[in-house]
Structure 1
Amino acid sequence: MGNFDHDSKKLERTSTESQAEPLPPPAYEDIHDHSYHAGHDPESVDQVAEGPYHIRDDGRVDIDCNSRAVRTFSRFFSSTPVDHSQQPPPDYEFKAPGTLTCGIKLNIVIQVVGSRGDVQPFIALGCELQKYGHRVRLATHDMFASFVRKAGLEFYPIGGDPASLMAYMVKNPSLLPSMKTMMSGEIGRKRQMVAEMLSGCWDSCVLADPLTEAPFVADAIIANPPSFAHVHCAQALGIPVHLMFTMPWTPTRAFPHPLANLANVDGDQAIANYVSYHVVEWMTWQGLGDVINDWRESIQLEPINLLDGPALAQMLKIPFTYCWSPALVPKPHDWPGYIDVCGFFFRDTPKYTPTPELAQFLAAGPPPVYIGFGSIVLDDPAKMLATILDAVRAAGVRAIISKGWSDLGGDVGENIYYIGDCPHEWLFPRMAAVVHHGGAGTTACGIRNGIPTLVCPFFGDQPFWGHMIASAGAGPEPLPPRDMTPAKLAEAIRFLIREETSVAAKAIAALMQDEEGVRSAVDSFHRHLPIAAMKCDLISDQPAVWTLKSGGKKIKLSKLAAEVLISQHSRLLKELKTYQSKPVSIEPTRWDPLSGGASAVMATTMDLTGCITGIVTKPMKAYDDERRKQDRADKLDAMIDDQRLAEPDLKSSSASIRTGTSARSRDNRPSAGGKAALAGVKSIGNFAPTALKGMTVDIPMAITEGLRTAPRHYGDKLRDNGKVTGVGSGFAVAGKTFAWGMIDGVSDLVVQPYKECKKNGAAGIATGLGKGMAGMVTKTGAGMFGVFAYPAAGIAKSVRSAVHNRSRKLVDLQRRDEGQWLVANQKWSGSELSGLIESFHALGSSKEQTKKAKDKK
């Protein structure tokens, strides 16, 4: 294996300790010094081009840390390193989940892209959320409809083929494709699939159930990162979003990105680890950023630039819950408080009765070793089976071999048993050790039962889990199938059946026994909700989505409360305003006035070029998009019909809920050819408005923000003057920026030299004068430029909001539909109706009186 010597020494060191007490939880200092790669194999790499990265055949990326591009990335993060060597490893920490209370009942949509193994944990999460009174919809691939509905959750199809995505992931890291993949046309098909899933995710937030017609508009979003649409849907709706995943996706200095394989790390390993996350995210956005921005345009959101797109979750501080045990991978020191590690998501052990043959084999000797690779399709099953059998004989153990999707099977010996489908929850506790591909769920099941584990990774995050197990002493370093020989596998099996390996695995299992991953994840979700901002002022357990004025004061109203009020006083409908419980603002990051201004000029130039070339490209794209929508509508209608035949008790539908995309409403929609022609006309028509916006808004705003943020480079704190959301806020921000810019700029000439002198003595006066002069230029400059830039940006946003309001109108319409549906299903007495209306007026009056009392004081 190449790493057994290191691990043997580590286990020899701990073997005497393990006899006295269980091994401690793993410290990530042991992980920190590794990039967990199995060596650079030139034959396993698609040589895309000479550069900072290469694509491996295991779905991971070799990152050359000595390349110019990666060194440039490193400069952004090397200024604030975290010295892990001076800090103790994080103690094992498990937070017991809270009680079954939340205080508010939400419509929650869970968006998941992936295989059945990715969907299954979120079904457990959705069922747990229902216990708190939430209405839960799981939005994922069409093929999982029955799987989700049988669990008692609502389902929404987002399209996409998980089998096709998995096949692509095996051949590519889903980041940069091989030349063979590009030539075969797979890239275009994958991009179309991503576009389809993005649209499906948006529909899952705002459209009614396509099967039952029950209206639904999301109040909160939970998603795994590969669904991509999460943050953007939250921005369009102004609602909270919470990410959950089974592998690290947040930058840390503790260990590299699971899909990254670091090479030539000559400097700080911690910085290289941190940068690997940004490189992987940047590569992902490079391949899909234009698809995401095209979709954002379809829901009338502004595009996101290349620098900000990869770091949205970190920039917006989106809450993140990781679904693994802190006993196996502790939460790194440099992850902020809005990131939690909650434990693995486990389902209840399924009922299973073994066949007489299996029961007889288990009873015939010592516990066997399980060897299986699940849904992985092997290139050469016969060769793999021969390797396994030779290794089992050489190690002198009994083995249960899972047939899996590759249908492994052969002659049965007294020490070999071939098994088909069998729940791991039942089988693994009866094993001496397990050998598998390293999927997160399979890994969790083995470790939870204290079973020594060898991971034979094929792609993706599987090497990461293998290395985490090895770092904890619960197994050897991962053994990739391409490196596997009978001798190496036999040596790994011998490592597994050592007493000290078993002790290490059982120590982790002992820590995990009280963990409740699903409940802890729900608790994490609830803790990060802005409950106070979300609650309706009249019906406290419902989320607010509207505001109405009462006595000169805005009252937050739920869908139900608003419809009750409107049913009694129809005039209130005109005063109903959309309310966002968690507004999301995504603005371009400007590092300094020069780069900011240059990037804005370049972006405007590219937009203008796009307007010209769009005369040809836009019609083609519009035609393809419309044809794809029609095909998708046909498939959706067929799926709905099949579901209704299978479940005839469900409410029938006279028309599809997917307004404008259903095959049943196609006669009311412009043809694909008509939309294509209109797209060409719109493209050239956008030339003048694009040029005007660039010259009057984008470029001045970039220079202003660059000047405002420049002092950050020499350690000065930035003053938050607010966000520009419209005309009023534009003038307000301009006034604050001008006033404080002048005050801070002038005062810096005195304040900065004083601070530096106090810190560094007389020698610091010169440095302070330099900072003071820089602040004088940048802060006053931002104030002067901002007088024009911020109001112009506010006017542009207000105009855009007024013109591009189709999505907002759709959301408002769907919320009203759901409100009316709730009223129809809510049995209200006359006294309850009048009481609600009286509370509305009384609340407005009391708030007005409170305001007047404060004004008098």
Structure 2
Amino acid sequence: MSRFIERMSITDHDIPSSRASSETYVDSPPAYEVVVGQLAEEAVEVRDDGRITVDLNSRLARTLSKFMPKCPNYSKGEDRTGERPAEQPKPASWAVKLNIVVQVVGSRGDVQPFIALGNELQKHGHRVRLATHNTFRNFVESHGLEFYPIGGDPEELMAYMVKNPGLIPSMKSLRQGDIQQKRAMVSQMLTGCWESCIEPDPISGVPFVADAIIANPPSFGHVHCAQALGIPVHLMFTMPWTNTRAFPHPLANLKNGGSDNKLGNYTSYSVVEWLTWQGLGDVINKWRETMDLEPVSAMDGPNLAAQLKVPFTYCWSPALVPKPKDWAPHVDVCGFFFREAPNYTSPPDLAAFLAAGPPPVYIGFGSIVIDHPVKMSNLIIEVVQKCGARAIISRGWSKLDGPPMDNIFYLGDCPHEWLFQHVAAVVHHGGAGTTACGLLNGKPTTIVPFFGDQPFWGNMVAARGAGPKPIPHKTLNVENLAAAISFCLTPEANSAAKEIAYQMQLESGVKTAVNSFHANLPIEKLSCDIISDQPASWTYKRKGKSLKLSKLAVEILSEGRTHGFDAKKLALYEPKPILIETNWHEPISASTAAFVGWNIDVVEAAAGIVTKPYKEYKVGRTSVSTKSVASGSSTPSLRSTHSSSSTEVESLSTVSERTPSHSTASDRLSRKSTDIGRDGPPGFACTASRMAGASGKALADVNVKGFKGLLVDIPLATAEGLRNVPALYGDTVRDHGTVTDWKSGALVGGKAFMYGMGEGLTDIFTEPYRGGKKEGALGVVKGVGKGSVTLLTKTSYAMLGLVAYPGQGIAKSIRTAVKSRTRKVIALVRHEEGQYLLKGPIGSRIDRAQVLAQFDLLTR
């Protein structure tokens, strides 16, 4: 898997929010300490095998342990097997037909399992779009799935990974600009992920608006796209990504763990997540701005999926790695994803080689790009000769090759599902998909890991006796590879591999994963109240009643306005709203962090008075040169991102690679509202005007952030810290509700004052009484202490909350009113898809009179 994300966790932090030309990323190499600081420097050491040594006794590990997801306590009986609660049964069938976008970043081996998943989802009537790198278009479409290009070059990513196997890139890569280029690629792919949720098919122009998202974690756009649309999101992965005591993060090597290795294992996931966020948090937050979303704090960003309890399905066999007992019910292990075996007829030369002798050993590294293919080829040839074996050597992206030999066949593209039935053993890089295919066919396996989770899978195979210990590619030589192949050809290894294969053949990973996906959906909130098999996209309120309406139902009702339908009463519907709030655990660190964050925000906003006009100047110059080039070619016209705040221009080569011929939803919205926006004709006057506007906006931003920090953010953080003080000594924290607008802010502020004052003034009497009943005299003493603490903290919380929560609500209402462009875009694309459905086969099958009658009945 292309784990390039983790390898960029210590980088520069001046990345724009949209896809941009390569000129944007030619800054000097970043200073590590600027981003990560002393905590990471003292806690992290990078090994040559691509893993990081995490010092569990460091300040970083101790600090992060305070903010980790709750670790279940085995001694208290929290030994959960992950069985789903009775109130969430797995549905026998699925009635609502969803538009599902599957977002995948990685190599072909990462994409292939999701093709199998997509085909299984189609059997349930869902419309599936697979959004991934452009190079996989034919691969995806040949399996009957819709495709959307998100950009990014997987071969380039794999080459980068081999050169930089650790979290910290080499100085050579810094000098060559690799880090800046990869961060630019991440920024491009994030924008592509959002577009994959709302843009029409790039070729046919058929509208598509996502009703649910499935993604692998390195795509990174998943939760944020789901938040913007208010739809369910489900993560699926072939690598452990959830905190567990059972084993450490595959990228972590623990040090100074003491006697409690289980706690060290659990902590390692948060450390790796934190390091990853350090390098990409700024890229993600700038991209979030283009969707009118607020930035995610450095405290919440690393463990966002865990904090939101996003459903997670792991795509490996429980026969190889059982589900850890401390994983929650919304985390599943379902089995490997296998697509249906393709119809494949071997070429005559391959068929002749297989028939000419005993089964050969397969040797290949798939999507790995190595620096010295000739040297690696010569080593493999020498090993094959030494073992006296026959071998099939896959050229792959490693470009392995050599002279013709009777006992060696050099292979081009060939499906592993077919090939691995005809070999004696397999030697490969340890990608999860390749590992699964080899084991499913009962083949002993030698893994030569290059980076990422590959050592993890090598160790899992070795633990089951189906292969030797993994051999890191940097230590590979004739002796150890020959010994590994010899071990794989023993009866013992063959028997162990056959046993794993038997257990795997009893599983149905893809079907189990689809059941997991369905079981975690908010079933009762998804369906349209009138056309039950269509997902709800709008809410309609009339006379105190609220209806959930699909895109198709709204278009039918719009045609029949004589039945009392009023389009002005429509609002966007969110079946699964996502609220990201910072969890402040105690008042001192909360107020300090809020104060520091306020200072940073104000300084950055003040710097924008100079930097933003300069960026507009650069954009103006680039636009002139770019448009002059484009005017003489057939290249599609440049398009802006969907946000009007974008200031970056894409290079022609990138645009021509992934830009559909149609305009974006943002462009169509601008034309619909006769808003020219910022894409006027180039020229000095236009550029000067935009520069002046940018400077004015930056000055206004200084005032807004300054006042908001003082009047809302700092008081709110302190109030939340005070509210959570009871949790520090084991008491329950009162849930005061969620603030979404000025009304809920006023309500929560009133509750905070009422309960805070009431409990703060009475706890000094009630806590000693409760303590005495529970623990006698000692309990009375403890109760006096608790009551004294709450007298101060709860009354302070009440006073601050009376100001902070209404202020938070007012700020959110203002932001909702000002930052409305994304909601308008979503409304537009839902309307466009509704029109398409109305005129298509689905619309022709619907009894429109019945729809109108049902609407009248429900709103009567």
Judge which range, 665-674 or 584-593, deviates more. Answer: 665-674
Deviations 1:734-773 (A, max 9, x none): 2222233234434544554455556555434333332333
1:585 aligns with 2:585: no
Q: 635, 656, 680: which is aligned to 2:663?
A: 656
Among 417, 420, 438, the alignment partner of 1:428 is: 420
> Is 1:546 aligned to 2:538, yes or no?
yes
Asked if 1:618 corresponds to 2:633, the answer is no
Q: In the aligned structure 2, how far is the partner of 1:750 from the partner of 1:667?
A: 63
Which AA in structure 2 matches 1:728? K
Counterpart position of 1:69: 60
Is 1:485 aligned to 2:495, yes or no?
no
Q: Deviations over 1:360-391 (max 9, x none)?
A: 54445443322222232333334434433444
How much does 1:98 deviate?
7.1
661, 679, 682: which one pairs with 1:669? 679
* 1:135 aligned onto 2:127: yes
Is contact 1:734–1:786 with CA below 8 Å preserved after alignment?
Answer: yes
Q: Is contact 2:234-2:517 (8 Å) kept?
A: yes
Pair 1:64–1:756, CA change in 2 (3 A): same
CA distance in 1, matches of 2:131, 2:289: 22
Match of 1:245 among 234, 237, 243: 237
- 2:795 equivalent in structure 1: 780
Percent identity over the alignment is 54
Offset of residue 789 of structure 1: 1.0
Would you say the 8 A contact 1:637–1:656 is kept in 2? no
Q: For 2:367 and 2:848, locate their aligned partners in 1 and report how far apart those are by CA, in whole Å.
A: 57
Q: Which runs of 5+ in 2 are unaligned?
A: 1-37, 623-637, 641-648
Does the CA-based 8 Å contact 1:210-1:656 persist in structure 2?
A: no
State the partner residue of 2:566.
572
One-letter identity of the residue aligned with 1:730: G
Change beyond 3 A, Cα 1:68–1:541: same
Structure 1 residues 327 and 620 mapped into 2: Cα distance closer, same or farther (>3 Å)?
farther
TM-score between both structures, scaled by the size of structure 1: 0.85
**Structure 1 residue 346: deviation in Å?**
1.0
Alpha-carbon offset, residue 690 of structure 1: 1.4
Alignment of 1:630-709 (within 5 A): 632=650, 634=652, 638=656, 655-657=662-664, 659-660=666-667, 669-670=679-680, 673=687, 675-709=690-724
Residues 302-311 or 478-487, more deviating? 478-487
Which deviations, in whole Å up to 9, do the C-alpha atoms of 1:250-297 show, x marking residues without a partner?
111111112222234334211221221111111111111111111111
Q: Distance in 2 between matches of 1:478 and 1:524?
A: 32
Q: Deviations for 1:435-464, whole angstroms, at most 9, x for unmatched residues?
A: 111011110001111211111101111111
Post-superposition CA distance 1:230-267 (Å, at most 9, x none): 11111111111111111111111111112222234334
Distance 1:238 1:348, change over 3 A: same
Which residue type is aligned with residue 604 of structure 1?
Answer: W
CA 1:322–1:372: 2 relative to 1, 3 Å: same
Instruction: Within 5 Å, give how 1:599-610 maps onto structure 2.
Output: 599-610=593-604
Q: 2:737 aligns with which of 708, 718, 722?
A: 722
User: Structure 1 residue 104: deviation in Å?
Assistant: 0.6
Residue 208 of structure 2 aligns to a residue whose secondary structure is: coil
In structure 2, distance between residues paired with 1:284 and 1:69: 14
Q: Which moved more, 1:750-759 or 1:422-431?
A: 750-759
Q: CA deviation at 1:208?
A: 2.0
Amino acid at match of 1:606: I
Structure 1 unaligned segments of length 5 or more: list them.
1-46, 644-652, 846-857
Change (3 A) 1:390 1:763: farther
Aligned equivalent of 1:596: 590
Mean Cα deviation higher: 829-838 or 284-293: 829-838
Residue 32 of structure 1 corresponds to none
1:226 corresponds to: 218
Q: Distance in 2 between matches of 1:49 and 1:748?
A: 42
**How far apart in 2 are the matches of 1:318 and 1:345?**
20
- 2:837 is aligned to 822
Tell me the residue number matched to 1:810. Answer: 825
Q: Are 1:100 and 1:131, in contact at CA under 8 Å, matched by a contact in 2?
A: no
**Alignment partners' CA distance in 2, 1:657 and 1:450:** 49
Distance 1:512 1:798, change over 3 A: same
Distance 1:632 1:151, change over 3 A: farther
Please give the secondary structure, in 2, of the residue aligned with 1:400: strand
Matched, 1:104 2:96: yes
- 2:502 is equivalent to residue 513 of structure 1: no
1:519-538, aligned counterparts within 5 Å?
Answer: 519-538=511-530
CA distance in 2, matches of 1:799, 1:89: 44
- SS of corresponding position for 1:199: helix
Counterpart contact for 2:90–2:515, Cα < 8 Å = yes
The amino acid across from 1:723 in the alignment is: T
CA–CA separation in structure 2 for the residues paired with 1:88 and 1:828: 50
What secondary structure, in the 3-state scheme, does the structure 2 residue paired with 1:122 have?
Answer: helix
* 1:433 CA displacement: 1.8
Instruction: Sort the Cα spacing of 1:387 and 1:184 in 2 relative to 1 into closer, same or farther, 3 A.
Output: closer
> Are the counterparts in 2 of residues 550 and 841 from structure 1 also a CA contact under 8 Å?
no
2:813 is the counterpart of 1:798: yes
Distance 1:157 1:663 in 2: 24
Q: Report if the CA contact (8 A) 2:45-2:53 is conserved.
A: yes
Q: 1:278 to 1:623 in 2, by over 3 A?
A: farther
Corresponding residue for residue 300 of structure 2: 308
Change (3 A) 1:67 1:109: same
Q: Tell me which amino acid in the other structure corresponds to 2:580.
A: I
Q: CA deviation at 1:625?
A: 7.3
Structure 1 contact 148–155 (Cα < 8 Å) conserved: yes
Q: 1:330 to 1:756 in 2, by over 3 A?
A: farther
Out of 768, 772, 783, the position equivalent to 2:783 is 768
Determine helix, strand or coil for the equivalent of 1:545.
Answer: strand
The answer to whether the aligner puts 1:269 opposite 2:261 as a matched pair is: yes
What letter corresponds to residue 264 of structure 2 in structure 1? A
Tell me the amino acid that sits aligned with residue 600 of structure 1. A
Residue type at the aligned position of 1:223: A
Instruction: Identify the range of structure 1 (411-420 vs 79-88) with the bigger mean alpha-carbon deviation.
Output: 79-88
Q: Within 2, Cα distance between the matches of 1:836 and 1:89?
A: 46
Asked if residue 197 in structure 1 is aligned to residue 212 in structure 2, the reply is no
In 1, distance between residues paired with 2:279 and 2:692?
Answer: 28
Any idea what SS the aligned residue of 2:254 has?
strand
Residue 153 of structure 1 aligns with which residue?
A: 145
Distance 2:160 2:510 in 1: 30
Q: Note the 1:276-315 alignment, pairs <5 A.
A: 276-315=268-307
Distance in structure 1 (CA, Å) of the matches to 2:550 and 2:755: 39
**TM-aligned CA distance change 1:382 to 1:818, over 3 Å:** closer
Deviation at 1:634, TM superposition (A): 4.8
Say if 2:130 and 2:146, in contact at 8 Å, map to a contact too: yes
Is the Cα–Cα contact under 8 Å of residues 90 and 333 in structure 1 kept in the other structure? yes
Aligned counterpart for 1:178 among listed residues 166, 170, 186: 170
Shift of 1:165: 2.2
How far did 1:170 drift? 2.4
* Matched-pair contact (CA < 8 Å) for 1:124–1:518: yes
Q: Which amino acid aligns with 2:816?
A: S
* Alpha-carbon offset, residue 329 of structure 1: 0.9
Of stretches 581-590 and 192-201 in structure 1, the one that deviates more from structure 2 is 192-201
- SS class of match (1:692): helix
RMSD: 3.4
